[in-house]
């Protein structure tokens, strides 16, 4: 018998002073049976860091053809492709060919560091790829916030994000491993 996804209902308020973006989002996240709370919360943080009206969750773990998040323009062209974790280099290169911008949010401490050491040379070629690492202590604290019904506020200023549920606050300072080159 196949396991079903666990549904999370999240009211997320994003205050992004770096981009001048201020909005509330009523989100329904389906956590895949093999997905951890930590990974799901990293997907949520990636949403907050890139929030916009057209940003949507993809099938992610359920499909090799879709990212964890993406933004398409009105013609259906992919403007932004976001993956979390340590995707294989072939799928990242394929995403770089399909989307105007690709962003990978890696996490997991030593595992993420090893992944980056293995793929950074081959992923240095795409001009449209950004790789960001999230500190393991912060992603584990974010996982502790996960609940089926959740009200969160994310404040972003000077490259640092604070995620709070009102009782607990997690500070996340992403580390830029590789930035897309301006064209």
**In the chain, domain spans:** 6-178
CATH topology of domain 6-178: Restriction endonuclease-like alpha-beta roll fold (3.10.640)
What per-residue confidence (pLDDT) applies to 32? 85
Q: What rounded mean pLDDT belongs to the chain?
A: 93
Distance CA 48, CA 25 (A): 9
Q: What is the pLDDT of residues 59-95, one digit of tens each?
A: 765 566 789 999 999 999 999 999 999 999 999 999 9
pLDDT band at 8 (very low <50, low <70, confident <90, very high): very high
What per-residue confidence (pLDDT) applies to 66? 87
- Predicted confidence (pLDDT) at residue 109 exceeds the cutoff of 80: yes
Mean predicted confidence (pLDDT) in 7-19: 97
Per-residue exposure over 81-116, b if at least 16 CB sit within 10 Å of its own CB, e if not: bbbbbbbeeeebbbbbeebebbbbbbbbeeebeebb
Distance CA 113, CA 92 (A): 17
Neighbours of 21 (CB within 10 A): 15
Mean predicted confidence (pLDDT) in 24-38: 92
The count of residues in the chain is 183
H runs (alpha helix) in 25-146: 37-49, 89-98, 110-119, 136-145
Distance CA 36, CA 101 (A): 26
């Amino acid at each position: 018998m196949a396991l079903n996804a666990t549904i999370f209902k999240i009211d997320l308020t994003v205050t992004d002073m770096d981009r001048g973006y201020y909005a509330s989002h009523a989100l329904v996240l389906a956590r895949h049976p093999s997905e951890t709370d930590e990974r799901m919360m990293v997907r949520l943080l990636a949403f907050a860091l890139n929030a916009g009206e057209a940003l949507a969750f993809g099938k992610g773990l359920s499909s090799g053809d879709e990212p964890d998040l993406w933004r398409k323009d009105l013609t259906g062209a992919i403007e932004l492709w976001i993956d979390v974790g340590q995707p294989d280099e072939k799928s990242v290169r394929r995403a770089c060919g399909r989307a105007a911008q690709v962003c990978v949010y890696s996490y997991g401490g030593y595992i993420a560091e090893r992944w980056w050491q293995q793929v950074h040379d081959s992923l240095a070629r795409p001009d449209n790829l950004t790789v960001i690492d999230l500190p393991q202590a912060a992603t584990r604290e974010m996982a502790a916030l996960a609940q089926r019904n959740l009200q969160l506020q994310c404040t972003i200023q000077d490259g640092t994000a604070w995620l709070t549920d009102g009782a607990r606050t997690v500070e996340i300072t992403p580390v830029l491993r590789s930035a897309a080159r301006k064209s």
